[in-house]
Structure 1
Amino acid sequence: MSTTFADRYETTLVPVIFRPWAQELIRRAAPRTGEHVLDLACGTGAVSQELLRAGVEPGSLTGADISAGMLAVARRKAEEAGIASDWVEAEAGQLPFVEGRFDLAFCQQALQFFPDRPAALRELRRVLRPGGRVAFCVSTDLEKNPLLVAQAATLDTHAGPDAGAAVRAICGLPDGAEIGALFEGAGFEDVAVEEVSLELVHPDGRAFAAGALGGMHTGDKLSRMSDAERERCIDDFLTALGPCFDGTALRFPHVSNVVTARA
């Protein structure tokens, strides 16, 4: 619990959740070598790592996020991997880029948290060239995501309703039609929204629980607990996962709306 949230996010959540979704978005967007790429609300840079693994060489790669801590980890990981990239602290509704700067933009699990979604999408369209592409994923209904159901219920009990509500907010924009209307209202064309389920896996359920309950938009709750309280919290979380936990490993569906569109 002594590490920062951004470090725990990178080591625990990215390999299980954000790396597979980055791979899915990259597969759908089919980025081409030489394109100028924006990773909006980039977190610790999962998209940049997956572009490298896919053998794509962007003309430029820029990550934007409001969290300096996330950007610090993204910058460090990119430097370690030899990825040429820029990491910019910025709000989605006020991007510090010129019009038509990018060919392609990715955004994972963040649209639901933007305080002004229409303004953020209009701003994104502004910084894309005409015909520029976007690929987003946004968590759908809570009841379709057993990991989040278990996490919210466990935090309700052990950390209070505000902590549980923070998890439920991850599923705060579940309606695909509403999402599509947001993109169309911002001037995007060829908008497609598809509900997609990925099967996600972690070989050590207890290790994942410690990281997931200690962050993921909820703040560090476990560090405030005694050792015994922390173990009870983890036990309750794993029990709530039911058949998704086999006593050792986790295997669970993670369901999101995937959005593709053109500026």
Structure 2
Amino acid sequence: MSNQESVPRNGTFAERYDTVMVPVIFQPWAREMLRRQPPQEGDRILDLACGTGAVTREIASHGIGFARLVGVDMSAGMLAVASGKANESGIEAEWFEADAGNLPFPDGVFDLAYCQQALQFFPDRVGALRELHRVLTRGGRVAFCVSRGLSENPLLLAQATALEKHVGADAAAAVRAICQLSDPEEIRANFETAGFLDIRLETVSLTLHHPDGAAYAAGAMGGMHTGDKLSQLSEEEKNVCFNDFLEELGPCFDGKAIRFPHVSNVVTAHT
């Protein structure tokens, strides 16, 4: 059984997230962001809204001599997994529990920052981007990825549809919120207002997969912010929900594996 398939359904939210969703979705996007905005020798690097540290681990795997590597997230549970994973791998990183709009750092202390699939959830996006701009040095670089619309992301659409049917509108809304910042011009305006320069946006589609769609359904739908909403269902009802999710995937599910496009806006800019 692969690591992707072995996560227990009763694991913590952060553990399910890291075991199931990171290898399938967040690690590939981390690689894509680093490809577009590569870290350089001596960089002081910030992983903003770092979750369980997918970007941080990808940075460390490049083997560059970074000067500082810092992860920030508002979730203590996510940071606990991130720190544990980094320690297991011998990665020297610092971890801070903080809000993106109030970073615990002085001005100009980072050369490079990454943020994946989090900007859409910041309650004050421009304020958070201004705060990021503040802690970056002059000429500091950033790379973000932000999900495109639900109609372009069949995995998310299938999850929202199945959850609305079996759990309710609130659970479906939690998935739809992932796609709430899909307009490139709105994203560009946020970065411009925050003072960033040379803002470049590109629609990028990655083809992602998991060898066992049923295992992914059970792990991922509990490894999202909908996990608590599923707890009201019996095991039989959960399985029906997961099966409906797989059916909603249509040609992205071949009866065993899932293979699907995942489409985001990728943003690079500098201060």
Normalised-by-shorter TM-score class: over 0.9
Size of the aligned set, in residue pairs, is 263
CA distance in 2, matches of 1:110, 1:233: 26
Q: How large is the Cα RMSD of the aligned pairs?
A: 0.9
Residue type of the alignment partner of 1:148: L
Structure 1 residue corresponding to 2:40, chosen from 13, 32, 35:
32
Please show how residues 2-151 of structure 1 align to structure 2 within 5 Å.
Answer: 2-151=10-159
After TM superposition, give the deviation of residue 221 of structure 1 in Å: 3.3
CA distance in 2, matches of 1:54, 1:257: 24
Residue type of the alignment partner of 1:259: V
Deviation per CA, 1:131-180: give whole Å up to 9, x if none.
00000000011100000000000000111100000000000000001101
CA distance in 1, matches of 2:193, 2:75: 28
After TM superposition, give the deviation of residue 56 of structure 1 in Å: 2.5
Does the aligned pair in 2 maintain the 1:71–1:87 contact within 8 Å? yes
**Aligned counterpart, 1:225:** 233
Deviation per CA, 1:172-219: give whole Å up to 9, x if none.
000001101110110000000111000001011001001121132323
Does the aligned pair in 1 maintain the 2:21–2:223 contact within 8 Å? no
After TM superposition, give the deviation of residue 57 of structure 1 in Å: 3.0
Over the matched positions of the two proteins, sequence identity in percent amounts to: 64
CA distance in 2, matches of 1:52, 1:63: 12
**Aligned counterpart, 1:252:** 260
CA distance in 2, matches of 1:114, 1:58: 28
Residue type of the alignment partner of 2:180: G
Q: Secondary structure at the match of 1:50?
A: helix
Q: Secondary structure at the match of 1:118?
A: helix
CA distance in 2, matches of 1:179, 1:217: 24
CA distance in 1, matches of 2:79, 2:233: 28
CA distance in 1, matches of 2:197, 2:120: 20
Gaps spanning 5+ residues in structure 2: where?
Answer: 1-8
Q: Secondary structure at the match of 1:251?
A: strand
Gaps spanning 5+ residues in structure 1: where?
Answer: none
After TM superposition, give the deviation of residue 226 of structure 1 in Å: 1.2
Residue type of the alignment partner of 2:251: P
**Aligned counterpart, 2:167:** 159
Deviation per CA, 1:114-147: give whole Å up to 9, x if none.
0000100000000000000000000011100000
Residue type of the alignment partner of 1:101: V
Residue type of the alignment partner of 2:267: V
After TM superposition, give the deviation of residue 30 of structure 1 in Å: 1.1
Does the aligned pair in 1 maintain the 2:20–2:223 contact within 8 Å? no
CA distance in 2, matches of 1:31, 1:85: 15
Deviation per CA, 1:22-41: give whole Å up to 9, x if none.
00001111111210000000
Does the aligned pair in 2 maintain the 1:210–1:222 contact within 8 Å? no
Q: Is 2:239 the partner of 1:235? A: no
CA distance in 2, matches of 1:121, 1:32: 22
Does the aligned pair in 2 maintain the 1:51–1:57 contact within 8 Å? no
Q: Which runs of 4+ in 1 moved over 3 A?
A: none
Q: Is 2:208 the partner of 1:191? A: no
